Chains A and B, each alone.
Chain A
Amino acid sequence: MNNAYTRRVFLQRSLAMVSASSTLPLFLQRSAFAVDNPFEYRATASRAGVPEDRILVVVQLAGGNDGLNTVIPFGDAEYYKARPQIGVKKDQALKFKGKAGDGLALHPSLAPLMELYDEGLLSIIQGVGYPNPNRSHFKSTDIWHTASPESGGQGNGWIGRYFDNTCDGEPEPNLCISIGDKAPLATYGEKVQPVAFEDADLFRWVGDELHPDLAQAYQTINRAGVSGEVDEGSTAAFLMRTALDAQVSSDKIRAAMEQPTSVNYPGTKLASSLKMVASMIKAGLGTRVYYTTMGGFDTHAGQAGRHDRLMRDFAQAVGRFYQDLKNQGNDKRVCIMTFSEFGRRVKQNASAGTDHGTAAPMFVIGDMVKPGIHGAHPSLTKLDRNGDLVFHTDFRSVYASIIDQWMGASSKDVLGRKFEHVPIFEAKKVG
């Protein structure tokens, strides 16, 4: 009796699933599946005990951000000797409270970051780089993206490999979203193809603007799901599912963007990217990694005013974004990581700018960080033969900490070998 009942329920459910499978988009199918089935499908499998809803937001500062004018060693006379015109004045720099920040300060335009620091939400890693630094933008960017200095930046991206190592089967759509017209190398992998768009308004078909009558026919075609005329496992079926996923994602993403945000964002490019990210996080898109980029850091000439503006735009965007996440109640789910392909030369050049350099600080932001400044400021006198800072922390150590501790995956599998962790996380908050 009991047995028969169970079986009937099971049959009904499996029938429901069969019909659902041809019409529902992939991720809805999976959530339906998860409700009914204890063997829940996992888009990305974190280590047991690590929540699946954690998010990483990457902010790339493209062009080579001047680390020395970001975290400023105002206590070191060498700094002002090397940078008579572009050195940030001691009385203007934002000094850190507490002993860890002795002689160090943030750029005056980084006030929103100093607020995060004071709230215990900012972790600064000093002197980050890699052996035999490459000073070409492209090459060094590729090295950071692939986490492979040995190969000169060849291969797939580290985020792509993270997904390769954690995804089974046909992955959910939108696991990785990059704001920009082309997905960065960091997000390339074997399994998950990064979703990239610059403007949510382009994340849709625009043919219906030709004539309103087209909209309905288009929707009928693209929301039909898998046609009974094609085999479920065929490429045609994959395309039909993706088309439906695209429609549903577009609805969600564009609806999310239309909602007012809880804070006002500045009109800068990074701010608008992060605003989009915040909206998508709020909409519960199921995305694990968001990637954003801010350009313009290649300050070879007339650096002072330009770098001030860059710092201001960067810090304001990140500050507002964090506040938005707090207001949403999503702040504890999100870890933000910033990097640049290299820092800049210690000595200013003849055009009151700086040339391509090497080591620089990285920021990791979130409720889960162990706040403070990790590692010593690189020496301004013991330089390499180009007059550049010598790194002491491999950037892959930072990646490894994030992959293992925050994302709950295995950095050894993703990065090819073990890297010592940097103590940037509060163990009890990431465990």
Chain B
Amino acid sequence: MASTSLKPIAAKRFGYLEAQHLLNRAAFGGTPTQVQALVSMGPAKAVDYLVDYEKVDDAYLPSPDADADIWAPPSKEEQELRRKAYRENKEEARAKVQAIRQQKQGQDRRQLAKLQQWWVDRMIATPRPLQEKLTLLWHNHFAVNYRGCEDSYLLLQQNEMFRDHAHGSFADLARGIVRDPAMLVFLNNDQNNKRKPNENLARELMELFTLGVGNYTEQDIKQGARALTGYTRRDNDFHFNKGQHDPGTKTILGKTGKFNGDDFAELCLAHKACPRFVAYKLYKEFVADVPKLQHVAGEQKRMIGRLGYMVRHHKYRLKPVLKTVFRSEHFYDDAVRGSKIKSPVELTVGLVRTLNTPQRSGRLLTDAMRMMGQEVFNPPNVAGWPGGKSWVNTSTMFIRQNLATYLITGKPPFNSGWSRKQMNYDATALIGDLDKPTADAVVGRLSDVLLGSAATSQRRTQLRQFLKDHNDRVTNDTLIALLCLITAMPEYQLC
């Protein structure tokens, strides 16, 4: 019987595999040394260390180098050109306007690519991995994609908002999102006005961001859309357009008043379904690949219910809830460990952080993530990435394996002209502290580091056989070969 207890795990039960599990889920993995460091801290302090990340200095991380003004309001000259182009219908002016727009589009798309790499680099380098993991969670929860807003700077601003509130309060995130320019553009709230309400944001605010289906009516959406009228942006900032706002009385989720968009967010937060919905998202991110909330059943449903109660009790403050989860017996249960499928980001960033592999081409990494189905700043739609089994199919399995091989060896998938010089990786550090690096000990160590509790004895035998076939030589080459084989195992996709 699996443990469903939220009581803290006993310190004596917190060994290497437990600490590694904590790092896999609450961070992006870690080197054997980092895992050992958490073991010595014990579960309570280890969790504090990861969750109270504001105490960790990260000021040295590079800030994104982004131009806020690519889509700045048109200059006087541009306005004049547009007037000619559209009011006077001058062909030449139209062509110029078009050319300017295309030039800006190109510039903005290049900036997006740079920001994607910046974020992935940050996830790899940060001493506050949980902060980035939560930022990614909120990006996936309040999902906006570049296709739908075509403004890279707005996405960066949103990303910073998520990072600022990552382990703060969910309520602040929900309050922030109804005033977030990227979201307002993405869900067409900039077109939501009192004469012609647009229901897009109102619907998703309840369905996907706070309550989940079945907890509101079509009438709530209509009335909520009225509350959100006039919530738009001016250049890069939120702007309340009073003239477009419908100041009348609305009835939303059973309450009546002259609500605006901020009030609407508060009404959602006050609804009894919201804490459980937040708990569900945390559970899905950190504990198990659960189906959609309405299909979750049995023990998992009860766990989410209990966490929902905690979310409510702590008034949406996330830290105490996260700490409870990460310390709980349930979190370390055999049924929970090694049961989730790594997202492409977790796979990529996790491998680099676990093996401490050298710098590789950032472009190749983001390309591979896109092919694996997770391009940051570009989730497929407002529902975000579905996750779980959807990450893996016959084509992404190969991309995952080839990416791992590339990170370890520097050998890109498409180029057969690889030379050993490109490898630049010393794998012997992984076994440096072994008293006797026998073939058995080496296989045990590498399988512990990369597979953790997902390792089966069949796999260890297969790896052992490989070493035997190579006269049990433990060299950097055979270690690299073993690493490539382990990361090409189906179980390596688990965490």
Q: Measuring CB to CB, which residues of chain A are less than 8 angstroms from any residue of chain B?
A: 136, 138-139, 142, 146, 151-156, 173-174, 181-183, 185, 188, 190, 193-197, 199, 202-207, 209-211, 213-214, 217-218, 220-222, 224, 227-230, 234-236, 238-240, 242-243, 245-246, 249-250, 300-301, 349-351, 355
Establish whether residues B95 and A349, one from each chain, have CB atoms under 8 Å apart when the complex forms.
Answer: yes
A310 CB to nearest B CB, Å = 19
Query: Smallest distance from the beta carbon of A175 to chain B beta carbons, Å?
Result: 10
- A and B contact pairs by CB, cutoff 8 A, 20 listed: A142-B147, A155-B381, A155-B383, A156-B381, A182-B373, A188-B381, A193-B373, A202-B398, A205-B401, A207-B402, A207-B411, A209-B416, A221-B489, A221-B490, A227-B458, A238-B392, A239-B392, A240-B490, A243-B489, A350-B92
Q: Are A196 and B488 in contact (CB under 8 A)?
A: no
B409 on the A face (CB < 8 A): yes
Known: A214-B481, A218-B485. A152 touches B200 (CB 8 A): yes
Decide yes or no: A350 and B381 within 8 Å by CB, A207-B484, A243-B490 being known contacts.
Answer: no
B466 adjacent to A217 (CB under 8 Å): yes
Pick from B188, B341, B413, B470: contact of A213, CB under 8 Å: B470
Inter-chain CA distance A229–B392, complex, in Å, is 21
* Contacting pair B341 A239 (CB below 8 A): yes
> By the criterion CB–CB under 8 Å, are A196 and B98 in contact?
no
Which single residue of chain B is at the shortest CB-CB distance from A217?
B466
**Residues of A contacting B494 in the complex (Cβ-Cβ under 8 angstroms):** 235-236, 239
Tell me what chain B mostly uses at the interface: helix, strand, loop, or mixed. Answer: helix
Shortest beta-carbon distance from A378 to chain B in Å: 22
Is the beta-carbon distance between B102 and A204 smaller than 8 angstroms?
no
**Please, which residues of chain A bring their CB within 8 A of the CB of B289?**
235
Question: Given the complex of chains A and B, what is the CA–CA distance between A221 and B492 in angstroms?
Answer: 12
Residues of chain A lying within 8 A (CB to CB) of residue B218: none
On whether the beta carbons of A243 and B397 are closer than 8 Å, the reply is yes
- Which B-chain residue is minimally distant from A183 (CB atoms)? B373
Which residues does chain B contribute within 8 Å of A221, judged by CB atoms?
459, 462, 485, 488-490
Question: B484's closest neighbor in chain A, by CB?
Answer: A207
Partner of B367 from the list A181, A185, A245 (CB cut-off 8 Å) is A181
Is the CB–CB distance between B459 and A246 below 8 Å?
no
Docked Cα-Cα span, A228 to B395, in Å, equals 25
A365 shortest CB reach to chain B, Å: 27
In the complex, residue of chain A having the shortest beta-carbon distance to the beta carbon of B380: A188
> Among the interface residues A152, A239, A242, which one has the most CB atoms of the partner chain B within 10 A?
A239
Report the Cα distance A155→B386, complex, angstroms.
12
- Give every chain B residue within 8 A of A152 (Cβ-Cβ): 148, 188, 200
B414 closest partner in A (C-beta): A202
Q: Is the pair B147, A250 in contact by a Cβ cutoff of 8 Å?
A: no
With A151-B200, A154-B382, A182-B371 as contacts: A206 and B339 at CB distance below 8 Å: no
Contact B462 A242 (CB under 8 A): no
Measured between C-beta atoms, what is the minimum distance from A358 to chain B in Å?
Answer: 17
B193 CB–A CB distance under 8 Å: no
Say whether A239 contacts B394, CB under 8 Å: no
Complex interface bits, B131-150 against A, C-beta within 8 A gives 1, otherwise 0: 00000000000000001101
> How far, in Å, is A100 (CB) from chain B's closest CB?
36
| Residues in A whose Cβ lies below 8 Å from that of B462 | 217, 220-221
Name B397-427 residues within 8 Å CB distance of A. 397-399, 401-402, 405, 409, 411, 413-414, 416, 418
Chain B contacts for A196, CB-based, 8 A: 371, 395
Given contacts A193-B393, A229-B458, A243-B397, contact A206 B371 (CB under 8 A): no
* B residues less than 8 Å from A190 (CB atoms): 386
Q: Are B367 and A204 in contact (CB under 8 A)?
A: no
Most chain B C-beta atoms within 10 Å of own C-beta, residue among A153, A202, A234: A202
CB distance from A20 to the nearest CB of B (A): 19
Q: Known contacts A136-B150, A138-B150, A214-B485; is A206 also within 8 Å of B470 by CB?
A: no
Pick from B92, B375, B381, B485 the residue with the most CB of A within 10 Å.
Answer: B381
Question: How far, in whole Å, are A349 and B85 apart by their CA atoms in the complex?
Answer: 11
Minimum Cβ distance to chain B for residue A217 (Å): 5
Complex Cα distance A300/B394, Å?
39
The residues of A that contact B392 with a CB separation of less than 8 Å are 193, 238-239, 242
